[in-house]
Amino acid sequence: MASAAIAQEAMLEVRNPRTGQTDHRLRVSSRAEVAEKAAGLRANHPAWEALGIAGRCGVMARWLGAVKARAAEIGEADAADTGGCHTSYIQGFITVANIGGWLKDAPAAFEALTWEGMSTSMPTVRIESQVVAFPLVGVISPWNAPLMLALLDAVPALFAGSAVLLKPSEVTPRVIEALFETVREVPELAAVFDYVTGPGEVGQAVIAEVDTICFTGSVPTGRKVAVACAERLIPCNLELGGKDPCIVTETADLDRAATSVLRGAVYATGQVCYSVERVYVHESVHDAFVEKLVAQANAVRLNADNPRAGHIGPFTFAPQADIVMRHIADAKAKGAKVLTGGEIEAIGGGLYMRPTVLTGVTHDMAIMRDETFGPCIPVMAYKDTEEAIRLANDTQFGLTASVIAGTAEEAEAIGRRINAGGIFLQDTFLTFAKLGTFGSDSFGCSGYGAPRIGPESLRRFLRRKSLLTQTGPVADIQDDHHLGKPGE
């Protein structure tokens, strides 16, 4: 990942997704600034780790109080960044839940990593475990759900005992600025948690300074991050999106299925990594399902007039609208039909799209192969369960998948055969139900590394050591010739 020099005082214009105007300016961090901040965080790390999990929990509890006091303000900043869907306004409270959840889970997660006892192969050797945090974690976060996805990595890393250097997306910097107002209220935390700003080159500079990377973004950029980390021989954890399928069987409650699919596909304008992006419906109920889906889709409101009232907001990142339109145009050119939506509506400077239902789609179309990241619902008929599973697995991605059937048992039998890390049965969009329980892996190109949700996700930021003590006599090389042959 070769990079050009970053100008010391370079500035970026930041677009408002609701107005289309540039109403915010972002200073680009220089490579020297990245290195300086990284060095400062690294120097402060030993004292942070030395606090132990109990001491760090005390500091994080104070941060929790600061976030609570500014939760509404943080939500407003997130809404300004994203264009405002109703979850933007509660991002401050989601952050409270994130920190509070780790206050509860982190001590037990540490306890699960400890071991002490006598060796089974050498009975005179006592073994004791030790966990050591990576000194400096780099987090490179995306423009969709900018606060939540940054803190899914940064918060557990801090609990683990690491210092964290965050590089948020240059598309959505406002909420990170608001967040760090709360960080600065807790000096011990501010000493080990900082951020830098700018385009991709700043992310490259972060990779050059840290001990491990957490990256959320596209597959092409994720490959570059992985190569850069490999060149430095540092680990990385990558969350790279998906093309998530939903199978609707002939026995499914079609009203329930249409409701679930619509929400799973267009929530947050479809700008969610685990949005439903492909729907496979048994041919016997295909037309009835589509009829119900279109009727529900036509009832969905844009939030152009009131960001707190509508269901679908503008595209956060304007170029994403072009990608979505290219997918729709490719599908139409190859025979697909658009039954509702399908056009970009420019309203007050924002770029909007209503829920877009397509039929007559095939796997020859980009809209069934590549991540669309927009409010599109391509629906394809299948003949039998074997074909449905084959189609669902015909992808380079494997983040999540959904199955809606007549019974939970029928859905589970199908779900167990789909290659994805999270399988949602009788609903869609259930990822966060795993919080506080356990995480799951990504399949294919959807990601790399350990789970980022659940108590074991703390393990990403810790290295385990073993301390081995000989309690008996030491071995004498002079006695080696007395050793028996294998099996004796």
Active site residues: 239, 273
Q: Contact 338/328 with Cβ under 8 angstroms?
A: yes
Task: Give CA separation, 354 vs 44, 271, 293, 345, 401, in Å.
Answer: 49, 13, 13, 8, 23
Look at the block and give the residue holding tokens 């700003």: 197
3-state secondary structure of 381: strand
Give CA angle at 294 (288, 297), nearest 5°.
140
Which residues face 467 on adjacent strands?
A: 128
* Residue 403 CB neighbour total at 10 angstroms: 30
For residues 45 and 135, what is the distance between their CA atoms, to the nearest angstrom?
6
End-to-end CA distance of the chain: 56
Of 263, 285, 284, 283, the closest CA to residue 275 belongs to 263
For residues 488 and 478, what is the distance between their CA atoms, to the nearest angstrom?
20
3-state secondary structure of 374: coil
- Can you spell out the DSSP letters for 401-437? EEEE-SSHHHHHHHHTTS--SEEEESSS--GGGGTTT
Of 480, 448, 466, the closest CA to residue 213 belongs to 448
For residues 174 and 11, what is the distance between their CA atoms, to the nearest angstrom?
15
* Residue 61 CB neighbour total at 10 angstroms: 13
For residues 170 and 199, what is the distance between their CA atoms, to the nearest angstrom?
6
3-state secondary structure of 137: strand
For residues 205 and 1, what is the distance between their CA atoms, to the nearest angstrom?
10
Q: Contact 54/182 with Cβ under 8 angstroms?
A: no
Task: Give CA separation, 430 vs 91, 140, 289, 400, 433, in Å.
Answer: 18, 24, 22, 9, 6
Q: 3-state DSSP helix/strand/coil percent for the chain, to nearest 5? A: 45, 20, 35
Give CA angle at 249 (358, 372), nearest 5°.
35
For residues 198 and 28, what is the distance between their CA atoms, to the nearest angstrom?
4
